[in-house]
Amino acid sequence: MSNKYPLYKTTKSDEYFQRAAKVIPAGVYGHLGPAEGQFIPVNRWPRFSEKAKGSYFWDVDGNQYIDYMCAYGPNVLGYCDEDVDAAAIEQIKKGNCVTSPDKIMIECAELLVDTVATADWAFFAKNGNDATQGAILTARAHTHRKKLIFFNNFYHGVSPMVQKIDYPGVTPEDVANNLYARWDDIEGLKKIIAENENEIAAIIAQPYNHGNFIDNTFPVDGFWKEVRELCTKHGIVLIVDDVRCGFRLDLAGSDHFFGFEADIICFCKALANGYNMSAICGKEFLKGSMSALAYTGSYWLSAVPFAACIACINKLKANLTSDLFITPLNKKILQLLTGRIDEGLSVEISLLAPHLTSDEMNVVAKLFADTSMVSNTIEECVDCINVLKTEKEKQEKKSPSSMDDQAFLDFFASLKKSEDDKK
């Protein structure tokens, strides 16, 4: 009997890994590392890549993969996007890393300020850790306070101040000023603030709970409104870590998606479609504190990523003309589906592939970007796509995006019943 799944060869990958292990700590460092205490079995990874295009990459053994991870987030438009790469190539002909920054840096900052709702300014770096660390330092410089509040299951980079005490190399002194609150627990957060009055510089949080090794959950209604009010009342800088899902929920920022304003918002992964850069965007009252930091890097003024960023954002904006991108209806579907974690219903996004066209799969990937697991059954997710199709065809009728949650669920159920009756 033939196996419906492809049989992968790993001969060359194994050979490359043996070479890598001799000259690179763990062979492949970070979360892909199969050695020295990392999590991926050596017989499964690494699959060293040879090339990539669109939604696919090929490893050194010639195995082809559908990459729902988008290189862990950066390639929001797919690999080797022609428009982004063309902009980068054109810029590299003129210059990249130069003693003085290219004027394109200004153009990139202007575009971000025009695009991100909370942004009065933009400061550039190279990775997400640069952005979150810079945001924290800015908050401390502004408030002259030390303490930080994190929500449970957080991940905000690899600086010692944002790691956990049981991580190798992290000392108690590194995290001595860190406070920890439970996600969605406003009363617990109030208690922490009251116990540390006038000592808290910032709350740093992802826009929804998508830390490491946990099911993703949206905030409960009113959560961010109350967090915003608490920060304003107590002089605490509110930092949104949008490194992972920035521009995937809303081009104006994920804080805008949830109906509040951050003081600082951190971007990285989707900024430039794989070209390495990050950005810290903030309110005017924090501009002086950011300016005063001794904060820089060897390649932070490189022009090529700025060109790629401009092309990427403009293309994302153009894609917003699609009826199947982020719309009020999509937002409601996304919130309702990701809010079903407690029911224990989950399925890998890739399992939807046999049921959907490639275009529909791209829609699902965009809707659930930065979430490796969808909290629903395959059938329910397919139904979700059908809702989108139905609504597109019936624009003259009452829009589900204007319904409250119960009315929407009733509408959703009626569509499903209608489909079942046809069978």
Q: For position 315, which CATH number holds?
A: 3.40.640.10
Q: Percent of the chain scored above 70 by pLDDT? A: 71
User: In this structure, are 55 and 33 located in the same domain?
Assistant: yes
The region that residue 169 occupies, defined by phi over 0 for left and psi between -120 and 50 for alpha, beta otherwise, is: left
Whether 4 has a pLDDT exceeding 70, the answer reads no
CA distance 362 to 353: 10
Whether 395 has a pLDDT exceeding 60, the answer reads no
**DSSP code of 241?**
E
User: In this structure, are 89 and 189 located in the same domain?
Assistant: yes
Q: Of 96, 120, 115, which is closest to residue 307 (Cα–Cα)?
A: 96
Mean local confidence (pLDDT), 108-120: 97
User: In this structure, are 110 and 257 located in the same domain?
Assistant: yes
CA distance 348 to 215: 12
User: In this structure, are 97 and 39 located in the same domain?
Assistant: no
Whether 74 maps to a domain, the answer reads: no
> Is there a contact between 54 and 79 (Cβ–Cβ < 8 Å)?
yes
User: In this structure, are 24 and 122 located in the same domain?
Assistant: no
Whether 73 maps to a domain, the answer reads: no
Encoded tokens for 70:
């988008």
User: In this structure, are 96 and 155 located in the same domain?
Assistant: yes
Angle at 303 between CA 128 and CA 243, to 5 degrees: 15
The CATH code of the domain that includes 63 is 3.90.1150.10
Q: How many domains does the chain fold into? A: 3
Q: Of 216, 245, 221, 220, which is closest to residue 341 (Cα–Cα)?
A: 216
The two beta strands, 49-53 and 373-374, are: unpaired
User: In this structure, are 397 and 353 located in the same domain?
Assistant: yes
Helix (H, G, I), strand (E, B) or coil at 206: coil
> Is there a contact between 115 and 320 (Cβ–Cβ < 8 Å)?
no
Domain boundary at 19, 42, 67, which? 67
What lies within 8 Å, CB to CB, of 255 at 6+ separation is: 117, 118, 207, 224, 240, 242, 261, 262, 265
Whether 157 has a pLDDT exceeding 90, the answer reads yes
The two beta strands, 200-205 and 237-241, are: parallel
Whether 376 has a pLDDT exceeding 50, the answer reads no
Query: How confident is the model over 164-184, as pLDDT tens digits?
Result: 998 889 999 999 999 999 999
Query: How confident is the model over 11-66, as pLDDT tens digits?
Result: 998 899 889 889 988 788 777 766 555 556 666 666 799 999 999 999 999 999 88
User: What is the pLDDT, as a whole number, of residue 52?
Assistant: 96
User: In this structure, are 342 and 382 located in the same domain?
Assistant: yes
Whether 341 has a pLDDT exceeding 50, the answer reads no
> Is there a contact between 257 and 264 (Cβ–Cβ < 8 Å)?
no
Mean local confidence (pLDDT), 109-125: 97
> Is there a contact between 255 and 207 (Cβ–Cβ < 8 Å)?
yes
Whether 401 maps to a domain, the answer reads: yes
CA distance 51 to 129: 27
Domain boundary at 67, 93, 119, which? 67
Out of 215-224, 367-376, 394-403, which region has the weakest mean confidence (pLDDT)? 367-376
Whether 131 maps to a domain, the answer reads: yes
User: In this structure, are 240 and 128 located in the same domain?
Assistant: yes
Query: Domain residues for 375?
Result: 322-423
Q: Percent of the chain scored above 90 by pLDDT? A: 58
> Is there a contact between 186 and 224 (Cβ–Cβ < 8 Å)?
no
Helix (H, G, I), strand (E, B) or coil at 263: coil
Whether 391 has a pLDDT exceeding 70, the answer reads no
User: In this structure, are 228 and 286 located in the same domain?
Assistant: yes
User: What is the pLDDT, as a whole number, of residue 44?
Assistant: 66
User: In this structure, are 143 and 248 located in the same domain?
Assistant: yes
User: In this structure, are 329 and 387 located in the same domain?
Assistant: yes
Domain boundary at 319, 353, 372, which? 319
> Is there a contact between 311 and 277 (Cβ–Cβ < 8 Å)?
no
Mean local confidence (pLDDT), 268-279: 96
CA distance 388 to 330: 8
**DSSP code of 147?**
E
